[in-house]
Amino acid sequence: MDDVRTLEGPGAAVSPLLRMVTMVPDASLGVARDLQRAASGMFRFGARVSVSVVNAATRPAFVRQPLERVEARVDALAVQGAAAREVEVVRVGAIAKRAEPMIAEFLEAVVALLPIDALLARIDVNGLLERVDVNALIERIDVATMVNEVLAGIEIGDLIHDSTTGIASDVRDSVRIGAVSADTRIARIVDRIVRRGRERDLVLPGYAFLGAP
Amino acid sequence: MSAADRRARAISVRGHRAGFLTRLVSGGIDLVVTALILFGVLVAFAIGRYLVGSAPLTLPRVHGLFTAAAYPVVEVLYLATAWATTGRTVGDQLFGLRVVRRSGTRLGKIQSLLRAVFCAMFGFVSMLWILVSSKNNAVHDIVFRTAVVYDWSDAVRTSGRPATPESDVSAVEATSA
Chain B residues 27-86 within an 8 A CB cutoff of chain A: 81-82, 85-86
Residue A147 has pLDDT above 60, yes or no: yes
- Cβ <8 Å between B6 and A26: no
Q: Is residue B137 pLDDT above 90, yes or no? A: yes
Asked if A183 reaches chain B (Cβ–Cβ under 8 Å), the answer is yes
Residue type, B75: E
Residue B146 pairs in a beta bridge with: B101
Rounded Cα distance, A97 and A123, in Å: 41
Tell me: do A104 and A147 sit in the same domain: no
Q: Is A212 inside a domain boundary?
A: no
Amino acid B171 reads A
Closest-CA residue of B relative to A41 is B85
Which one of A5-14, A50-59, B17-26 scores highest in mean pLDDT? B17-26
Distance between CA atoms of B115 and B133, rounded to whole angstroms?
A: 19
| CB contact B134 to A (< 8 Å) | yes
Instruction: Round to whole Å and give the CA distance between A130 and A126.
Output: 6
Q: Does B155 touch chain A (CB under 8 A)?
A: no
Residues A182 and A110 in one domain: no
The answer to whether residue A205 sits within a structural domain is: no
Residue A182, classified by CB atoms within 10 Å of its CB into exposed (0-12), middle (13-18) or buried (19+), is middle
Instruction: Name chain A contacts of B103, Cβ cutoff 8 Å.
Output: 206
A57 vs B22 pLDDT, higher one:
B22
Q: What is the mean pLDDT of residues B63-86?
A: 91
Residue B26: predicted pLDDT: 94
Closest residue in B to A188 (Cα) is B131
**B10 touches A212 (CB < 8 A):** no
Burial of A176 by CB count in 10 Å (0-12 exposed, 13-18 middle, 19+ buried)? Answer: buried
Q: Residue A61: its pLDDT value, please?
A: 72
Q: Residue B168: which of A1, A23, A210 has the nearest Cβ?
A: A210
Q: Which residues contact A56 (CB under 8 A, 6 or more apart)?
A: none
Surface of A (97-116) touching B: CB under 8 A: none
Q: Nearest residue on chain B to A7, judged by CA atoms? A: B1
Structural domain count, chain A: 2
Chain A residue numbers touching B27 (CB-CB < 8 A): none
pTM of the model: 0.55
Which residues have C-beta within 8 Å of that of residue B146, sequence separation ≥ 6?
B99, B100, B101, B102, B107, B111, B115, B140
pLDDT band at residue A210 under the 50/70/90 scheme:
very low
B112 Cβ under 8 Å from any chain A Cβ? no
Residue A2, min C-alpha distance to chain B (Å): 6
Q: A172 touching B, CB under 8 A?
A: yes
Residue of chain A with shortest Cα separation from B109: A41
| The predicted structure's pLDDT at residue A101 | 85
What is the overall mean pLDDT for chain A? 78
Which structural domain, as residue segments, surrounds residue A92?
38-123
In a domain, A9, yes or no: no
User: How far from each other are the two terminal CA atoms of chain B, in whole angstroms?
Assistant: 12
CB of A210 within 8 Å of a chain B CB? The answer is yes
A115 located within any domain? yes
Rounded to the nearest angstrom, the minimum Cα separation between B136 and chain A is 7
Of A7, A11, A32, whose CA–CA distance to A22 is shortest? A7
Task: Assess if residue A128 is contained within a domain.
Answer: no
Closest CA to B169 of B1, B2, B14, B16: B14
Complex ipTM > 0.90: no
Residue B133 has pLDDT above 50, yes or no: yes
Give the pLDDT score at A38. Answer: 81
Beta strands in B80-132 (DSSP E): 97-101
B139 touching A, CB under 8 A?
Answer: no
What is the residue-averaged pLDDT of chain B? 84
Q: In this structure, are residues B96 and B152 in contact, taking their beta carbons and an 8 Å threshold?
A: yes
Note the pLDDT of residue A55: 76
Residue A7 covered by a domain: no
Task: Tell me the average pLDDT across A163-187.
Answer: 86
Residues 131-150 of A with CB under 8 A from B: none
* pLDDT at A12 exceeding the cut of 60: no
Q: A203: which chain B residues are within 8 Å (Cβ-Cβ)?
A: 15-17
pLDDT tens-digit profile of B51-66? 887 777 888 888 888 8
Crossing angle between the packed helical segments B3-13 and A156-193, to the nearest 10 degrees: 40
Chain A and chain B share a number of CB contacts under 8 A equal to 137
Of B34-43, B70-79, B161-170, minimum mean pLDDT range: B161-170
User: What is the tens place of the pLDDT at every residue in A107-132?
Assistant: 888 888 877 788 788 788 788 888 87
- Whats the size of chain B, residue-wise? 177
Per-residue pLDDT reduced to its tens digit, B151-172: 988 766 655 444 444 444 444 4
**Closest residue of chain A to B20, computed from CA coordinates:** A183
Instruction: Tell me which of A86-95, B78-87, B166-175 is least confident.
Output: B166-175
If one compares A79 and A55, the residue with the highest pLDDT of the two is A79
CB contact under 8 A, A200 and B135: yes
Of B64, B79, B65, nearest to B113 by C-alpha is: B79
Distance CA B93, CA B75 (A): 17
